[in-house]
Amino acid sequence: MDTKKVLAGLLLFSVVMASCLKKPSACGYTAVKVVAPAAEVQNLKDSLYTHNITDFTADPSGIMYHVDTIGTGKGITNLCSTLSMTYRGSYFGGTGAFDSTTGTALATFQLGQVIVGLQYGIPFIKTGGQITIYIPPTLGYGATAVTNNSGVVVIPASADLIFTVRLFGVQ
């Protein structure tokens, strides 16, 4: 048996096996194509009008949004995009934010890690932009109340959510 052929074969086998062991380039998030039911969309619109909010755009998914500033920087390309941003999450009838960044602190995460309503809404802006997104329950936290570690409800079941997001970076 020719030693050179055996070594060449082993080298080729090693290269092929090494290429199989590479980590996949995708982050593992799959786009979810969820659309809010018509009744939830109508309830959200009614809530917006009740609170004198008329300057919004309705998305086919069921979210409503208002782009305060579109931004001029890099845009979001997919669910694997890593975002640096500030945000404030609340709901109609709430007494304040149920979650937010504080001061100048930025939150950093991949778009695929957030609720579906934000996945649909945040890509409407680019770096430097700010948006307010109104999210029906199906695209938010659904029909189950969200509680804190003490068991206190911080987001009621079937709540329409309001997020204000300012995007500082996209990677």
Domain boundaries, the chain: 31-170
Q: What type of residue is 17?
A: M
pLDDT in tens, 110-128: 999 999 999 999 999 999 9
Give the global pTM.
Answer: 0.83
Q: Cβ neighbours of residue 45 under 8 Å, at least 6 residues apart? A: 58, 64
Give the CA count within 13 Å in the CB-facing half-sphere of 134: 24
Q: What are phi and psi of 45, to 5 degrees?
A: -60, -45
In CATH, the number for domain 31-170 is 3.10.50.40
Question: CA angle at residue 44 from 38 to 48, to 5 degrees?
Answer: 145
The H or E element that residue 10 is part of is helix 3-21
pLDDT in tens, 63-85: 999 999 999 999 999 999 999 99
